Structure 1
């Protein structure tokens, strides 16, 4: 069994001046990522209006599949025109750890 995680640090549009407006950007991203059958949540920068950290976790039998799913998630976030993907932190954990 292998688990993989990714944390996407994103910059939201400048018109995001409240946490309510921030949620209006973050909620559709989370919904889109759930299509990949991953666990996903906003995990950081919770009090900042123009930034968000979105965490994704996946479990699979093969490390290759974990990587493919995380790659798909990264492409989905990077392809959203309303935000800028600043960084991605990824980790892979296996049975031997």
Structure 2
């Protein structure tokens, strides 16, 4: 069994000056990621209005499949014109890891 995670560091548009406006940008992204059959959530910078961290986790039987799913997630977030993707942190774990 293999698990993979992504953590996206994202800058939101200047008009996201309230938490309500921030949610209007974050929720559709998280919903779109979940349609790729992964777990996704806002995992950091909840108190900041112009930034967010979005986490994604996927589980599969092969490392290759996990990689394909994470690649699709990264393309989805990078392709959102309203967001500025600063960085992506990727990790892959095997059930054989100690």
Unmatched runs of 5 consecutive residues or more in structure 1: none
1:48 match: 48
1:35 Cα deviation (Å)? Answer: 1.1
In the TM superposition, structure 1's runs of 4+ consecutive aligned residues that sit over 2 Å from their partners are none
1:80 match: 80
1:3 match: 3
2:61 match: 61
Helix, strand or coil at the partner of 1:59: strand
Helix, strand or coil at the partner of 1:80: coil
Q: Alignment RMSD, CA only? A: 0.5
For 1:14 and 1:95, locate their aligned partners in 2 and report how far apart those are by CA, in whole Å.
Answer: 42
TM-score by length of structure 1 reads: 0.98
* Corresponding pairs, count: 97
1:36 Cα deviation (Å)? Answer: 0.7
For 1:80 and 1:95, locate their aligned partners in 2 and report how far apart those are by CA, in whole Å.
Answer: 33
Q: Deviations over 1:29-71 (max 9, x none)?
A: 0011011100000000110001010000000000000000000
Unmatched runs of 5 consecutive residues or more in structure 2: none
Helix, strand or coil at the partner of 1:96: coil
